[in-house]
A and B are shown apart, each in its own frame.
Chain A
Amino acid sequence: MCPPHPLHHTRNSKRGLDVLSYHFDWSIILSGKYFDWLVSGVKVTLQLSAAGIVLSFLLGLIVAIMRMSAFKPFRWLACIFLEFTRNTPLLVQIFFWYFGSYKLLPEAVNDWLLTQNFEFAAGLIALTIYTSAFIAEDIRSGVLSIPKEQMEAARSAGFSYLRSMQYIILPQAIRITVPPLVNQFLNLAKNSSLTMTIGVMELTYQARQVESYTFKGFEAFTAATLVYLALSFIITFLMHQYNERILKIHMAA
């Protein structure tokens, strides 16, 4: 699975310290086949990140609400979910969904899955579930920081518990939760690279491919690094914009 490190190449070859005279060649990855590989990797990484952010936020919201529910079985379910997902390595979870999950499914479903992009689905599920646990806890602490009088005011007006959450508590809690949420979204985007281990052809996977075909590892991973950096900046920037907007609109002093 793992090709030998390039240092081994140079050591083993008669050319000895060739590594020092490494010949930089950016053109090879900036056009043609290898460029296309990297671009397709970027696309998959973006898809994974975007879908993961949306889904993990929604799932995190649901888990947070269940965790705070007055209904005990919901609380227990949420707690079990949180303990399992936060206390096991993401890589193991990725393998679990990739190698383990289909054993639980009926064969017909599996046959169908194989015609689909199963790696992508398994990777996305693992990333979503893993990240949602952290998001749920962030949202919960945001909710806990809203004075209980807000819930009382909402309930007094005649809103049910869930409606009070929806219209009054969560909008305020999410606002407080934006900075930790940015962190979780960044983590998700970066963690998406781990899905290469189950063959999701995302950016890191493609950079690796380019490296093993061209031995231009430095160029390929520099490019990958820059793309991840850019992605992180974009996420941070968008969340910052969102934050500024709501601060301007809602908390004007």
Chain B
Amino acid sequence: MINFIGVHKWFKKLHVLNDINLHVTQGEVLVVCGPSGSGKSTLIRTINQLEPIDDGRLVVDGMDLSDKKTDINKLRAEVGFVFQQFNLYPHLSVLKNITLAPIKIRRTSKKEAEEQAMTLLERVGLTDKRDAFPSQLSGGQQQRVAIARALAMNPRIMLFDEPTSALDPEMIGEVLSVMQDLAKSGMTMVVVTHEMGFAREVAHRVVFMDAGTVLEEAAPEVFFKNPQHDRARQFLKQLLSPMH
């Protein structure tokens, strides 16, 4: 579904992605973790080409991102992206946030798009907020709307970049449980997160990044019990310490 082959990326002199080789199969949930600045966001953002790659090959859902002829908008329509800061459209109601892309890009009828939006809102537990505006919602609610908005395009892949990092602790659970349901439904997901509980329970595989490289790649039970590298051990220790 997603195939990184020797991918490199630089920001000026900074080598942010260094020879990335990763393969995500259909229905797989991949969790990406690692210290701040290690390139996690950059990695996940290359998958829908919010960041173009400089070298190597990247094939997503059969489309080659290194090929100039690939219709990037078409690819993005098939890939849902959920941001750390939600990034809902503040000038549109919850319902319109969700239906805008299906109506304008997929040419779905308004009625059909709204019905689908209501189904999605039910799924994320927010049917009563259909006419609210983003500014009227809590962070957790906004993030759930953002997930519903991404799902409204019936994506083949969902990407999450630290979806719970901007949330108050009591709201993290509601967002994670929506993501967990989504994983159960067989969605292919790449999730950058430090929620190790989520990784343990939901992920099929965990990737540990450091300084632009994939340092470790393992099943969660293996990774958490027995990390191979000092950097990973350090990282996990820090994460689990109460001071974090």
Contact = CB atoms under 8 A, between A and B. Distances in A.
Interface of A: 149-150, 152-160, 163, 167-168, 171-172, 175, 246, 250-253
B234 to A, nearest CB: 31
A251 B134 CA distance: 9
A157 to B, nearest CB: 4
B113 to A, nearest CB: 13
Given A252-B133, A253-B135, A253-B136, A159 B104 contact: yes
B89 interface: yes
Interface stretch (B15-23, B28-36, B76-84): B76-84
B48 interface: yes
24 contacts: A149-B83, A149-B87, A152-B83, A153-B88, A153-B89, A155-B50, A155-B76, A156-B48, A157-B76, A157-B101, A157-B150, A158-B74, A158-B76, A168-B89, A171-B91, A172-B89, A172-B91, A175-B91, A250-B133, A251-B90, A251-B91, A252-B133, A252-B135, A252-B136
Nearest to B87: A153
Interface in B82-112: 83, 85, 87-92, 100-101, 104-105
B153 to A, nearest CB: 7
Given A163-B104, A253-B135, A150 B73 contact: no
Q: Which of B73, B74, B81 is packed against the most chain A CB atoms within 10 Å?
A: B73
A150 B78 CA distance: 19
A172 B90 contact: yes
B87 A152 contact: yes
Contacts of A160: 73
B214 to A, nearest CB: 23
Contacts of A252: 133, 135-136
Interface residues of B, number: 28
Contacts of B83: 149, 152-153
Contacts of A172: 89-91
Contacts of A251: 90-91, 133, 135
Interface in B122-160: 133, 135-136, 149-150, 153
Nearest to B146: A153
Nearest to B159: A156
A166 to B, nearest CB: 9
Nearest to A173: B91
Contact of A158 (B73, B85, B87, B136): B73
Given A150-B89, A172-B91, A252-B135, A167 B100 contact: yes
A252 B132 CA distance: 9
A158 B77 contact: yes
Contacts of B92: 250
B101 A150 contact: no
The 3 closest A-B pairs by CB, nearest first: A158-B77, A153-B87, A156-B81
Q: Which of B48, B81, B90, B100 is packed against the most chain A CB atoms within 10 Å?
A: B90
